C-alpha cells in the first residue's frame, strides 16, 4: 500500500480529535461520570500523566510496525511511527470518550489476531516476520469486501487502524506537508480562488449577470 492511496483514504476519514488517556491494558474501563475538570492550559502534561496509557511495550512495537506498513518512509516523508503516530493511537485507545472506548477493544483484539495469525502461518510473532510475510497477512484483511468471512473482524480492525494511522500522520506538520496543505500560513495578500476553478463550479461572477 503506497502513501498516495492512503491520502485518498484519509480524505474520506472522519477527523479524529480530542486526545486523552484512560486505563492500562487488560483493565476494563470504569464508568465515568463526565470527564473531570478542564486541564490547566498553562501546564505541560506528559504522556500518561492525566490518566494511564493503554499499550504495553510489545503492543507499541507492533503498533509501530503496522503503522509503517501502512505509511512507510519514502522520498517525500518519513514513516508514520517516526512522527508520533503510535503515541496518537495509544492516546486514542486510552481515552474515556465513547468513540475511543468503542475503538479500544477492536484495536487490542486486532493486535492479538495479528500475532495469532503470524504464529499460525509463520511460527513467529507479527513483529518478527519479514516484510513480505507481514504484507501477506495484511493483504488478506485490508479490503473488507474481499476478506474471508472468518476474517471479517480482522478486516474491521484493519480498516479502523488504517484510519487512525492516516488521521494521526496527516495531522502532523510532516503529514500536512506531504499532502501539500498550505493552510495556517500568513499571507501578505489574497487574490481569491483561481478563475478556472470558479468557472468549473459555476461560481464565476459576471458583471453582466443581473
Neighbours of 64 (CB within 10 A): 18
**Residue 154 belongs to domain spanning:** 3-200
What confidence score (pLDDT) does residue 23 get?
41
**Does 209 reside within a domain?**
no
**Are residues 20 and 51 in contact, defined by beta-carbon separation less than 8 angstroms?**
yes
Cα 49 to Cα 185: distance, rounded to the nearest angstrom? 32
**Does 170 reside within a domain?**
yes
What confidence score (pLDDT) does residue 10 get?
45
What confidence score (pLDDT) does residue 21 get?
40
**Does 84 reside within a domain?**
yes
What confidence score (pLDDT) does residue 11 get?
42
Cα 93 to Cα 84: distance, rounded to the nearest angstrom? 15
**Does 157 reside within a domain?**
yes
**Does 182 reside within a domain?**
yes
Q: Which set of grid coordinates corresponds to residue 80? A: 508514520
- Number of domains observed in the structure of the chain: 1
Cα 126 to Cα 117: distance, rounded to the nearest angstrom? 8
What confidence score (pLDDT) does residue 16 get?
38
**Does 210 reside within a domain?**
no
| Main-chain phi, psi angles of 167, to 5 degrees | -60, -40
**Does 205 reside within a domain?**
no
Beta strands in 95-196 (DSSP E): none
Quick one: how many helices (H) and strands (E) in the chain?
8, 0
**Are residues 115 and 104 in contact, defined by beta-carbon separation less than 8 angstroms?**
no
**Does 207 reside within a domain?**
no
> Would the pTM count as exceeding 0.85?
no
Cα 184 to Cα 50: distance, rounded to the nearest angstrom? 29
What confidence score (pLDDT) does residue 206 get?
61
Per-residue pLDDT of the chain (210 residues; tens, 9 = 90+): 555 454 444 444 433 343 334 344 444 545 545 666 777 888 888 888 877 899 999 999 999 999 999 999 999 889 999 999 999 999 999 988 899 999 999 999 999 999 999 999 999 999 999 999 999 999 999 999 999 999 999 999 999 999 999 999 999 999 988 888 877 778 788 888 888 888 888 887 764 444
What confidence score (pLDDT) does residue 33 get?
58
Amino acid at each position: 500500500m503506497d502513501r498516495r492511496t492512503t491520502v485518498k483514504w484519509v480524505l474520506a476519514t472522519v477527523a479524529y480529535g480530542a486526545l486523552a488517556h484512560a486505563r492500562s491494558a487488560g483493565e476494563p474501563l470504569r464508568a465515568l461520570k463526565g470527564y473531570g475538570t478542564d486541564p490547566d492550559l498553562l501546564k505541560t502534561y506528559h504522556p500518561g500523566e492525566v490518566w494511564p496509557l493503554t499499550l504495553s511495550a510489545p503492543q507499541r512495537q507492533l503498533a509501530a510496525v503496522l503503522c509503517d506498513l501502512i505509511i512507510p518512509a519514502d522520498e517525500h516523508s518519513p514513516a508514520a511511527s517516526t512522527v508520533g503516530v503510535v503515541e496518537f493511537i495509544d492516546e486514542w485507545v486510552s481515552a474515556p470518550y465513547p468513540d475511543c472506548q468503542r475503538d479500544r477493544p477492536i484495536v487490542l483484539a486486532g493486535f492479538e489476531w495479528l500475532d495469532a495469525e503470524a504464529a499460525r502461518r509463520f511460527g513467529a510473532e507479527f513483529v518478527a516476520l519479514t516484510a513480505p510475510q507481514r504484507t501477506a497477512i495484511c493483504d488478506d484483511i485490508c479490503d473488507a469486501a474481499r476478506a474471508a468471512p472468518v476474517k471479517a473482524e480482522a478486516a474491521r480492525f484493519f480498516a479502523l487502524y488504517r484510519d487512525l494511522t492516516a488521521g494521526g500522520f496527516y495531522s502532523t506538520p510532516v503529514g500536512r506537508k506531504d499532502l501539500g496543505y498550505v493552510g495556517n500560513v500568513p499571507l501578505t495578500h489574497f487574490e481569491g480562488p483561481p478563475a478556472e476553478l470558479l468557472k468549473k463550479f459555476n461560481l464565476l461572477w459576471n458583471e453582466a449577470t443581473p
